[in-house]
Amino acid sequence: MVFMRMVLWRALIGVLLVVGAVVVPGQAAAEASFQWRQEYITTADGLRLHADVLRPAGLADDVKTPVIMTVSPYRAHLAYLSQPTPKGGPSTENLQIDLFLAAGYTYVIVDLRGFGGSNGCPDFGGPGERADVKAAVEWAAGQSWSTGKVGLVGVSYEGWTGLMGLLEQPAGLAAVASFEPVADPYAYLYMQGVSWKFSGKPVTESGVRPGDSAGLEHLLIASTPGHWEDSGEYRMNALNIDLACYQRYLADTTDHDGTAAYWQDRNLADRLRGNTIPLFLGQGFIDNNTRPDRVFDLWNGLGAGEHRAWFGQWGHRTCTTKCGTPQFDVELLAFFDRHVAGKDVTVPGPRITVGQFDGQWRGEQAWPPADSRAVAMNLNTGVYTDRGLIPGADREIWSISQPLEQDQHLAGAPSATLTLDGPAQATVAVEVYDIAPGGVGTVITRGIAPVSATTQVRLLAQDWPIQAGHRIGIRITDVVDDLWAHAPALAQVKVNAAQIRLPLLTGARVADVQGGLSDGISKWRAEKSLTLSPDLLNNARVTVDFPTRTGDR
């Protein structure tokens, strides 16, 4: 057991050095402007959940405040060793602690079962973790220092726990802010059964499915020991590893069958239909971790309520920094002030703030917008070889439109239908490119599916203006090497017919929200562009009946 733990811990350090962006070093309580104490919450099934309670400095215990809460697998006191602190303390990096404490909130950080100072067995968004969120919210709402109103906030897995709160509807939950969340964990790990690469890192074509490693990653995080200054209970809970639990966890998360009851139970994109609790939702269109996919199904399934959304050109984070606009924090705080603190304030800005790929910002009432129309583009046929990694013209079939006579604007998720002959173990990927004069093409979006006689490929969502004079290019290939893990079939696939439906706006848009270029746009252009030869531009041409766009909207 001890040896197993040492192996896991050393592996964890290696994972963290590679991944780098999941969570970062904790902040010492002595350096922060808050009062800190630790509590334990007993769940209905008898587990003990550890909580860090942060109150504004100098605030008396009998003063009631509204509560902001993050429920997390990532906040162990000794999660990272690059910036060790002598007294341990709450891990608050990337949490907007100061924003909420200054506004008079108490901030509570709760460890999910099996993580940090909590005991129990993780279950990857299952009934156990959902019960933890419910217990944590109701505990905070019932404390003597609480007004009884709680707001959940978080990014990634911590955004997922906010969605779990919406499903469980605990007493006292007043609002949720969820950014880059896992709306559907099956779609997070697999796209139509094909594994996403672990953290987007390149791997060899050995038949290993690195997307399956996400389950192992979380188990490694769960194996983090307690800080040497932590209480005996904290350190004992951190050391409590149930190998049967871990084996079951890995077996469940590596099941590629999306129809399995395990996945359907965790599919919050469908299960949250009709939710009316106010939700502030965020998603980056260029996020390669929790990708722009099923989160939009979740958004469009919400019931009536004062919901807000920010969708734009950033990666795996909120829009607090580097996304190109300064007003995100103002809206976020006003959202919680209105719904959790009960203040008579209006949340500024549009219902949906959209950051376009050209750096312009606008407001929308719906996304995809109501005037987004599917425009069919028939694609060239031919044969490609499913062999992965090794580049070559035999891996791709291109279709390139005529130059656009006027600006077009893609807003939504394209989809493609292909009639194929090939082995079932082969895959087909479809990419959409914005090709500028001169032949430089930049990826707009992509999708993948296993080969079948009639294959439907769902592509990721984007909001991308395409200038007049540019062309739209479509590449059919076996796999996109930087995104999906793939054991090549080493066989040819014949494309007998293919069509893609591009969601294009019929009305032009005016930038009516303050903002500019995000750092993610320049990075995307640098990493996701290629130059097409004149021969390819001429020989792969197809004619598309693009819509005539109307005036500004």
For the residues 170-197, what does the mean pLDDT come to?
A: 95
Nearest 5°: phi and psi at 177? -115, 115
Give residues with Cβ within 8 angstroms of 17, minimum separation 6.
Answer: none
**What pLDDT is recorded for position 70?**
98
* Least trusted range by pLDDT, from 300-304, 321-325, 363-367, 398-402: 321-325
Angle at 44 between CA 42 and CA 46, to 5 degrees: 55
pLDDT of 24 reads 33
pLDDT (tens digit, 9 = 90+) per residue, 250-265? 999 988 899 999 999 9
Q: Which domains does the chain have, with CATH numbers?
A: 32-349 (3.40.50.1820), 372-547 (2.60.120.260)
For the chain, what is the radius of gyration of the CA atoms? 24
pLDDT at 375: 98
Give per-residue pLDDT as tens, 25-46: 333 444 557 999 999 999 999 9
Contacting residues for 124 by C-beta, under 8 A, at least 6 apart: 185, 215, 218, 249, 252, 253, 266
Mean pLDDT score across all residues of the chain = 89
Q: Check if the beta carbon of residue 331 is closer than 8 Å to that of residue 308.
A: yes
Q: Kindly state the DSSP code that residue 428 receives in the 8-state scheme.
A: E
C-alpha–C-alpha distance, residues 103 and 67, integer Å? 11
Does the pLDDT value for residue 64 go beyond 60?
Answer: yes
- Omega into 368 within 30° of 0, i.e. cis? yes
- Tens digit of pLDDT for each residue in 87-133? 668 889 889 999 999 999 999 999 999 999 999 999 999 999 999 99
**What gap in Å lies between CA 109 and CA 72, rounded to an integer?**
7
| Section 519-541 average pLDDT | 95
Residue 32 CB: number of other CB atoms within 10 A?
A: 17
Q: Which residue has the higher pLDDT, 196 or 470?
A: 470
pLDDT of res. 239: 86
Share of the chain above pLDDT 90, in %: 76
CA dihedral 15, 16, 20, 25 (to 10 degrees): 170
Task: Work out the pLDDT band at 9, boundaries 50, 70, 90.
Answer: very low
Tell me the pTM: 0.91
- What integer is the mean pLDDT of 484-510? 95
Taking only the tens place, the pLDDT of each residue in 380-424 is 999 999 988 777 889 999 999 999 999 999 999 999 999 999 999
Over residues 440-449, the mean pLDDT reads 98
User: Which pLDDT value is given to residue 87?
Assistant: 65
Order the strands of the 65-72 sheet from edge to edge.
34-42, 48-56, 106-111, 65-72, 146-155, 173-179, 279-284, 308-312, 352-355, 361-364
Name which of 36-45, 141-150, 204-213, 499-508 the model is least confident about: 204-213
